[in-house]
Chain A
Amino acid sequence: MRKKLVVAFLLVFAIFCIGTFNDTAYASDANKYQVLSPSKSSFSITDKVYLINGKAPTGTDVTIEVYGTTDLTKKNFNLNHLPSKDDYISLSSETVTSGNMGFFQKQINLILGINKVVVSFDAEGVADQEFIIYVYNKSIINNDRFGGFSKLKK
């Protein structure tokens, strides 16, 4: 009985180790595919031009798709009230290739309102990355977090 228990424990331990090893290998592979900008998955800005950049092994094709929503729906989308999949319209889709330094980059154009950016790597096991960018009109909201001289730290 004791022998059976030891064998069963070793088996479970071996399976656990294999699983962990595979996870580690996947994680180190996945680390090679990164989106550096944007660094947050959802955020708001006033700019209609944005930089998408990241790291991927040299020669990797990276597809950057940009979706927007039109105001015609009058649903007043924002970061707390996101559109459904059907509400999005495709704005652009472009494939760039990671260069010799292991970087890829693309300057994208956004529209006012909610924009969705999907970055897909042409590599097995690497998940697509999705970003929600809410572009608002700078005249509507004054969101200057910096402040003037008095806000400077001593």
Chain B
Amino acid sequence: MKERLKTFLLISLVSISIILTKNLWLQAPEQLFTFADKERELNSYVLADMIAPSKYLLNFSEINHTILYDDMKYGIWDKSKSSLIEALTAKEFELKEISNEEFINYHNVKSAVFYFADDTNSYILTRALDIKDPNDIVDRMPYMDSIYIYLGDGNSFFIFSNDDKHLAAHYPKMDISSLKEELDIIDESQEYTYYHSMKWYGAKPNIYIPLEIEYSLPEIYVANDLYSMNESEKKQLVEKFLGKDIGYIRQIVEGNGSTIYVYNQKYLKLNSNGLIEYFHALENRVTERNLFLSLSTAADFLSSNAEILKGMYLADVQEIEQDGSVGYKLSYRFRVRGIPILLGNREVEEYVTIEVFNDHIRSYKYYPRKDMNKLPNRNIDKSKILPAFDVIDKNAGFFKELYIDTFNIDNMPENIVDGVLASIEDITLAYYDPCLMEYNEKLIPVWAIRFKGKTYAFDAYNGILVYER
């Protein structure tokens, strides 16, 4: 009996040792790869990072919708990518152009809509999705501002949209069952803020606002990186940009405290207002624009020079011309914890602007503001943020005046409220960076309302206008 027990113990020990050895040898390399991925995440900035949706609308029914600014929790965009790639590469697919009315109607059924920050070039989107040979959809819809996925009964489909133009696309064997399941889980959990269509106020039906908000946004403090740099760090920064040892670099100190570093045709200016400016004159004339090459050049440049890449997204692309050369001006903004930040410094155009001429970066301007990752203050006022319509209502007089000014109307028309509401183009939750302090600058949660092409931001706690641009 004793011998049998010993044998059993021996077999158990051998089995345990085999299991542990397997874990050691088969799981450790996987962990190493995970580590390598994280490194890549922190140190490189690729096209796919630039072109990601700015907000996500989830439609559960005609009545219930929600908007997410951060997809980290559910990963809906990531789960949609494989089907989206299929839709944009499939050789056999069906297309139907649908009316704006029909498109809006399809928001009343289970579906998801991905909104992009700016009209996204469809070809660039396909490159960001690593599609080598896109199908005709890209030609039929060269720019997109949103992508819709139908998740209701019957065969699923995408709707690619730009303003009022909508193209529905379906390919055989389209399977988005995992996305449907995810939406069901979110719906059943009911742990989301209910958003309602502004159609009930006579405004654009594809604008959604919450009426009751049970949360306050996290307090976020930012600091300007340049001010906190010591001389050695500044030296490293200069050498990184100009690609030469500091001993070879000419230095000019201006009266206002700004310093210019010069090497050959390259300049780097560390401004006293915290702005970093880089300039490298064009060496050859560029006669033909290539957006994909320009974006890739910008991504490589940002990966090797920018300190902060997390949360950065491409907000605007403009075609430019300089001394007979043609290129692009790219503007980037930041999101902090998924919420976009509005820059309040009028001396600075955007957080990051890059002038790129195919493979050449002509200029780069960067206003570095870093999340200080402060621990939440437990003694803060736990007041909730105001619903967006309350903010509009509090500022009814302002909007009426704005409407009269915008449309050059002499007398206040009787139906001015209808006119005001119909002129609202978008409502988004955002943070406003007043740019008044070098350290400990508290970002203000705002409702950013786009009214006839201009953005007005109102403090989300008290409804006071804090920003217009």
Contact = CB atoms under 8 A, between A and B. Distances in A.
Interface string A117-154: 00000000000000000000000001010111111111
Given A100-B394, A100-B396, A37 B200 contact: yes
B157 A148 contact: yes
B109 interface: yes
Given A49-B194, A152-B168, A144 B200 contact: no
Nearest to B170: A149
B155 A150 contact: yes
A56 to B, nearest CB: 12
Nearest to B394: A100
Interface size class of B (residues with CB under 8 A): 35 or more
Interface of B: 60-64, 94, 96, 98-99, 102, 105-106, 108-109, 150, 152-157, 168, 170, 194, 196, 200-201, 211-212, 389-390, 392-394, 396-397, 417, 420-421
Given A46-B61, A47-B61, A102-B417, A36 B397 contact: no
Given A146-B109, A149-B170, A103 B153 contact: no
A151 B168 CA distance: 12
B63 A148 contact: no
Nearest to B156: A148
Interface size class of A (residues with CB under 8 A): 20 to 34
A73 interface: no
Contacts of A37: 200
B417 A49 contact: no
A54 to B, nearest CB: 9
A45 interface: yes
Interface of A: 36-37, 45-47, 49-51, 53, 99-103, 105-107, 142, 144, 146-154
Contact of B63 (A36, A45, A146): A45
A51 B196 contact: yes
A152 B63 contact: no
A152 B396 contact: no
Contact of A101 (B64, B99, B157, B417): B417
A146 B94 contact: no
Nearest to B103: A152
A99 B421 CA distance: 14
A149 B94 contact: yes
A49 B63 CA distance: 8
A144 B150 contact: no
B200 A100 contact: no
